Structure 1
Amino acid sequence: MIRTQGINHIALVCRDMKETVEFYTGILNMPLFKTVELPGGGQHFFFDCGGGNAVAFFWWKDGPPAAPGVASVRKFPLDAKTAIGSMNHLAFNMEESELEAALDRLEEAGVEHTHAVVNHDDSRAGIAREKHEGVFVRSVYFTDPNGIMLEFAATTKAFGPEDVAHAPASAEAN
């Protein structure tokens, strides 16, 4: 039986390691704790994002260009559809009481972001203007220098069996 203990790290690809280090250490306050020089001229750096979890980046001088709308989310206004096997976005857990301060910090740093906390609920639209009893997560979305969509997410309720209410869709049914 396989039993995982959470995420050790997620490995992403950046266009410029120096710019990425400055963003993740300077703006997001994630300490750089391991660097690796790769054979053939690449790098692999690891950042502590809290809770024993890490975000890592690969960089290659001859890496292919970004492909927004295919391999990553298109920037604002948000177009969340991405290709099969792509990474849509990365969400960092945060206390709800820290979300407004995070918005302020992103604004001060000139980082493109949602400019308001997004209240996710089970309504038809999936979001609400105001926080209410049905809001299950509150989020701030922003992008890093590589165009990677990131999220600060605060879960606002405990989930139960009633929260698994939809049958999984199948490509074969279409």
Structure 2
Amino acid sequence: MFTNLSAKKNPHFDIRGLNHLALVCRDMKKTVDFYQGILGMPLIKTCDLNAGMGQHFFFDAGNGASLAFFWFPDAPEVEKGITVPKTHMGDMGNVTTAVGSMNHVAFDVDAEMLPAYMEKLTKAGIKVSKVLHHDDSPEGHSFTRKHPTLWVSSIYFQDPDGIQLEFAGWARPMRDTDVLHAPATVNDRPAYLERQKTAVA
């Protein structure tokens, strides 16, 4: 497991890592049962929001990071393809979500533990993908082999609200050669959508 993925230092801010990521749940009790009961993440802080606005709970995600949930009594329902992907990420289907949405949460784990964690989740009744190895091959991933360019291995599963979760284990530190692509813009949408049509045809 790698604690430093890059030797590069942030020249603008001394950001030490992720403090917390705040998501929205439908049922706080089911969320606590899942994250604390099944994933074993200690519940470390609970808040009742004033004026009956709802609740805000925090779970310890390790190494100083936490995962937080809001429960709002008037929150809209989840919409697949908008707030969460349409398909389970391990199925390699359509994982598109809306601009500004939170697509998935990946927890850092030891990659060697992924098969054991997959078994634990399955025994708890959670649908979980096979171990997926992400690499720089033309396919970009494989369930069956570890390509020489492997950079992270993962398993995928969902919480009670369909939020996509991942246990991910880095295979190596990142290098300058890992940053090769120009960032896409709104103007690149037509070309990418055309490539999608060609790939499906």
Alignment of 1:18 with 2:29, yes or no, is yes
| Counterpart contact for 1:75–1:147, Cα < 8 Å | no
- What amino acid does structure 1 have at the position aligned with 2:19? N
Q: Measure the CA separation in 2 of the matches of 1:89 and 1:74.
A: 12
% identity of equivalent residues: 47
Number of corresponding residues: 173
Q: Which moved more, 1:67-76 or 1:14-23?
A: 67-76
Alignment of 1:91 with 2:102, yes or no, is no
What is the Cα deviation at residue 98 of structure 1?
A: 1.4
Instruction: Show the counterpart of 1:33.
Output: 44
What is the Cα deviation at residue 79 of structure 1?
A: 1.9
Q: Deviations over 1:128-158 (max 9, x none)?
A: 2212321110000000001000000000012
Q: Measure the CA separation in 1 of the matches of 2:25 and 2:132.
A: 27
Instruction: Show the counterpart of 2:73.
Output: 61
Q: Measure the CA separation in 1 of the matches of 2:169 and 2:13.
A: 29
- What amino acid does structure 1 have at the position aligned with 2:44? F
- Could you tell me which of 159, 165, 171 is aligned with 1:156? 171
Instruction: Show the counterpart of 1:52.
Output: 64
Residue 40 of structure 1: SS of its match in structure 2?
helix
Instruction: Show the counterpart of 1:70.
Output: 82
Structure 2 unaligned residues grouped into runs of 5+: 1-11, 191-201
Q: Measure the CA separation in 1 of the matches of 2:35 and 2:160.
A: 10
What is the Cα deviation at residue 5 of structure 1?
A: 1.6
Output the TM-score relative to the length of structure 1. Answer: 0.94
Report the structure number with the largest CA radius of gyration: 2
What is the Cα deviation at residue 101 of structure 1?
A: 1.3
Q: Measure the CA separation in 2 of the matches of 1:141 and 1:48.
A: 20
Computed over aligned residues only, the root mean square deviation of the Cα atoms, in angstroms, reads: 1.3
Instruction: Show the counterpart of 2:160.
Output: 145
| Counterpart contact for 1:75–1:143, Cα < 8 Å | no
Q: Which moved more, 1:91-100 or 1:125-134?
A: 125-134
Alignment of 1:165 with 2:180, yes or no, is yes
| Counterpart contact for 1:36–1:43, Cα < 8 Å | yes
Q: Deviations over 1:106-135 (max 9, x none)?
A: 100111211x10000112221122123211
Structure 1 unaligned residues grouped into runs of 5+: none
Residue 169 of structure 1: SS of its match in structure 2?
coil
